[in-house]
Amino acid sequence: MILAIAGLLTAAIALPYLLDLERVRPGTAVSFWGSALALRAMTVVFGLAYLVFVLPRTEIFAALTHWCWHTIMPLITTHLDGHSLGHATVIGASFVVAMSAISVGFGLARATRAVRRLLAGASLGVGPNESLIVGGSDVLLAAAGFARPQIIVSAGALAVLDDEELAAGLDHERGHIARRHRFLLVLAEICRGIARFLPGTRHSVEQLMFHVERDADHWALSRRHDRLALASAICKAATPRGAASPVLSTLGGSGVRRRLEQLLDGTAQRADALTSPVVRIASVGMVAFTLAAAAAGSTATVAVAQKVDSGHQLRHCD
């Protein structure tokens, strides 16, 4: 049973790698990569739950840990036994994962405070379409904030972008707010903190951020903006760092080159037509499988924890 569940999880996590998601609707691609990232985090969490609640009660664990230093090496007086070392290893792994997730939480809190200070102290007034103008010569358009996000535009952007580029760029940022990307990106950061030690987790986060930016591009184009104007605005706003953040999603964010290619060849506008019904059904199935796995894993963990025999005594060295 455990092998079957592990096989299903592995297949679901690998599925986005097997599909050409750059040519499908960005929301569909976000569903695939977001679900795969959540499954990675659940794999780590439920794997640790197995190590904590189940493995110590198995005969395999008992066989591997039933030894003592002073019986193996009589001259050593320290009574270190395998049970203690085994439990210390399990606790240590859990501690490392917990600290990784906590560090992500502190990082998000710091970023939120920094954006709040930016909005409070650097605002120069109200800009076009109820945006906030901030100082600086750089071309910056961004959706800033978490609880009450606002669109900010720099003085440099107002000076460099023409009317069509500015309108398209502002609607890109409005798309981030309308599509609630900040909640998805916060969840992605938490999953990254939990599953960062699994191979491919960083790549999954990068792909999710890229398709989130594609989704905002798609939203802007649906407002009848010229794709070339949006491409030009993205090019002017591109920065070397160019990474999306849950609390500060910039126009020149993730995957600038690939987004420009899609805008220039028209793929961004044809994404809906290129998404087959099979792929759409698969994305819905991926999300459903992720939710079912979360529910089943949580229920199983609680059930196993309740069955732990508090009176069970481990065998120690004599």
What's the pLDDT tens digit per position in 180-212? 999 999 999 999 999 988 999 999 999 999 999
Q: What is the pLDDT of residue 181?
A: 94
- Is the CB of residue 208 less than 8 Å from the CB of residue 245? no
Q: What is the pLDDT of residue 54?
A: 66
From CA 25, how far away is CA 275, in angstroms rounded? 6
Q: Is residue 317 part of a domain?
A: no
Q: Which of 58-62, 94-98, 270-274 has the highest mean pLDDT?
A: 270-274
| DSSP secondary structure letter of residue 147 | S
Q: What is the pLDDT of residue 63?
A: 58
Q: What is the pLDDT of residue 62?
A: 61
Q: Is residue 9 part of a domain?
A: no
Q: How many domains does the chain have?
A: 1
Q: Is residue 192 part of a domain?
A: yes
Q: What is the pLDDT of residue 89?
A: 65
Q: Is residue 271 part of a domain?
A: yes
From CA 79, how far away is CA 70, in angstroms rounded? 6
User: 241 — phi, psi (to 5°)?
Assistant: -75, -55
Q: Is 80 exceeded by the pLDDT of residue 56?
A: no
Cα–Cα–Cα angle for 252, 20, 264, rounded to 5 degrees: 40
Q: Is 60 exceeded by the pLDDT of residue 83?
A: no
> For the segment 10-50, what is each residue's pLDDT rounded down to a tens digit?
999 999 999 999 989 999 999 999 999 999 999 988 888 77
Residue 76 vs residue 255, higher pLDDT? 255
% residues pLDDT > 90 (the chain): 45
Taking the model in full, what pTM does it have?
A: 0.83
Q: What is the pLDDT of residue 76?
A: 45
Output the CA–CA distances (angstroms, integers) from residue 139 to 15, 131, 258, in the order listed.
37, 14, 20
Residue 169 vs residue 76, higher pLDDT? 169
Nearest to 230 by CA among 164, 277, 177: 164
Q: Is residue 300 part of a domain?
A: yes
Is the torsion defined by CA of 227, 228, 232, 235 positive or negative? positive
Averaged pLDDT, 303-312:
58
Q: What is the pLDDT of residue 92?
A: 73
Q: What is the pLDDT of residue 315?
A: 47
Q: Is residue 224 part of a domain?
A: yes
Q: Is 60 exceeded by the pLDDT of residue 286?
A: yes
Q: Is 80 exceeded by the pLDDT of residue 175?
A: yes
Q: What is the pLDDT of residue 203?
A: 94
Q: Is 90 exceeded by the pLDDT of residue 303?
A: no
Domain of residue 53, residue span: 26-70+79-307
Q: Is residue 4 part of a domain?
A: no
Q: Is residue 129 part of a domain?
A: yes
